[in-house]
């Protein structure tokens, strides 16, 4: 094996059992991350695993296969709870990137600024992982362990994103703050899924990215928003305790203070957008 474009999952799992093998899907994170370093000896390209491409309804929810591209999301009628993920897809890089890059590659790359993580955390996504003769499922919140660190063990491939059936009344949105509109690394992004009952928030999930090593759900805020009307949720009712899971860094894109202030405004706006 020097470069193998696997055609079947069995072929891919046999190849990945060699710990020296590098896996690429769309390659849009993997190639730029190599910089000037020479290519490694053995590359397994999974992008042609057509059985793993697509989004399908299962008895318990939805399954997004490992080789599903961002732009595949636009081809189906999905429940309104997916609107945040679709808005996110439209802002990942450019159309060329959306056509080549996989949704699951975005999660496996485990960048703090991966735009796909907040909307999928808000959808309570899980990751299906397979090895030769093994199969397991982990919550996305446990799958990404740190910067560029996932729960994947040697010999394993992530094979699908699993999303439990959302309530048909769940609405969703996603907002990304960058220094310009497209082709930009997020300063902060927020995804929200919510269900109203009599105009009041009955269920809500809020996830924030690019403000901690791993994107975070804001569970204390989610709890405090139950029973409120979305139009009464303004940036000023969001406290430091609500944002405690966030540990934003200072970099060329912004200061920690700017990021936290932005997150409050994004939450106010994303909840309105979702309703
Ligand atoms: C110009 C440009 C703009 C971009 N803009 C954005 C943006 O706006 N927002 C954003 O979030 N990202 C952006 N990206 C990053 C990238 O496009 C996305 O993260 C994309 O979804 C990665 O998917 P991929 O299939 O190309 O992953 P790859 O590069 O193929 O893989 C990424 C990593 O995950 C591993 N991997 C991939 N699939 C699997 C699997 N099934 N099992 C195990 N390991 C796997 C690979 O080994 C590699 O380490 C941009 C990249 C470029 C080049």
Ligand 1 centroid to residue 205 C-alpha, Å: 25
Residue with the larger pLDDT of the pair 39 and 119? 119
Ligand 1 centroid to residue 114 C-alpha, Å: 9
What are residue 164's DSSP bridge partners?
61
What pLDDT is attached to residue 1? 64
Which residue's alpha carbon is at the smallest distance from atom 47 of ligand 1?
23
Is the CB of residue 92 less than 8 Å from the CB of residue 115? yes
Structure confidence by residue, pLDDT tens digits, 194-246? 999 999 999 999 999 999 999 999 999 999 999 999 999 999 999 999 999 99
What are residue 158's DSSP bridge partners?
129
Residue with the larger pLDDT of the pair 75 and 264? 264
Query: 0.75 exceeded by the pTM?
Result: yes
Mean pLDDT, residues 100-122? 98
Mean pLDDT, residues 127-146? 97
What pLDDT is attached to residue 181? 84
Gap between the Cα atoms of 78 and 272, Å rounded: 21
Q: What ranges in the chain are assigned the alpha helix state H?
A: 9-16, 30-34, 83-91, 95-100, 103-108, 117-122, 140-143, 219-225, 256-274
Please work out whether the CB of residue 12 comes within 6 Å of at least one atom of ligand 1. no
Please work out whether the CB of residue 29 comes within 6 Å of at least one atom of ligand 1. yes
pLDDT band at 128 (very low <50, low <70, confident <90, very high): very high
Gap between the Cα atoms of 57 and 74, Å rounded: 15
| CA 94 to ligand 1: nearest atom | 3
pLDDT surpassing 80 at residue 44: yes
Please work out whether the CB of residue 156 comes within 6 Å of at least one atom of ligand 1. no
| CA 93 to ligand 1: nearest atom | 5
Mean pLDDT, residues 236-260? 95
């Amino acid at each position: 094996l020097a470069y193998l474009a696997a055609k079947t999952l069995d072929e891919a799992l046999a190849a990945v059992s060699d710990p020296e093998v590098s896996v690429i899907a769309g390659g849009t994170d993997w190639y730029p991350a190599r910089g000037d370093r020479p290519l490694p000896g053995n590359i397994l390209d999974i992008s042609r695993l057509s059985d793993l491409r697509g989004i399908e309804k299962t008895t318990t929810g939805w399954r997004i296969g490992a080789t599903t591209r961002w732009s595949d999301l636009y081809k189906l009628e999905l429940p309104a709870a997916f609107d945040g993920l679709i808005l996110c897809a439209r802002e990942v890089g450019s159309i060329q990137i959306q056509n080549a890059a996989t949704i699951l590659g975005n999660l496996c790359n485990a960048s703090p600024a991966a735009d796909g993580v907040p909307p999928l955390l808000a959808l309570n996504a899980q990751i299906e992982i397979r090895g030769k003769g093994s199969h397991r499922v982990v919550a996305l919140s446990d799958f990404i362990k740190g910067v560029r660190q996932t729960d994947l063990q040697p010999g394993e491939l992530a094979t699908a994103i699993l999303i439990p059936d959302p309530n048909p009344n769940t609405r969703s949105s996603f907002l990304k703050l960058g220094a310009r509109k497209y082709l930009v690394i997020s300063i902060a992004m927020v995804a929200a899924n919510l269900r109203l009952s009599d105009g009041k928030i009955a269920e809500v999930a809020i996830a924030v990215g690019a403000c901690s090593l791993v994107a975070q759900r804001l569970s204390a805020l989610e709890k405090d928003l139950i029973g409120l009307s979305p139009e009464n949720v303004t940036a000023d009712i969001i406290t430091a305790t609500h944002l405690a899971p966030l540990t934003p860094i200072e970099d060329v894109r912004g200061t920690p203070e700017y990021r936290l202030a932005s997150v409050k405004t994004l939450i106010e706006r994303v909840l309105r957008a979702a309703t």
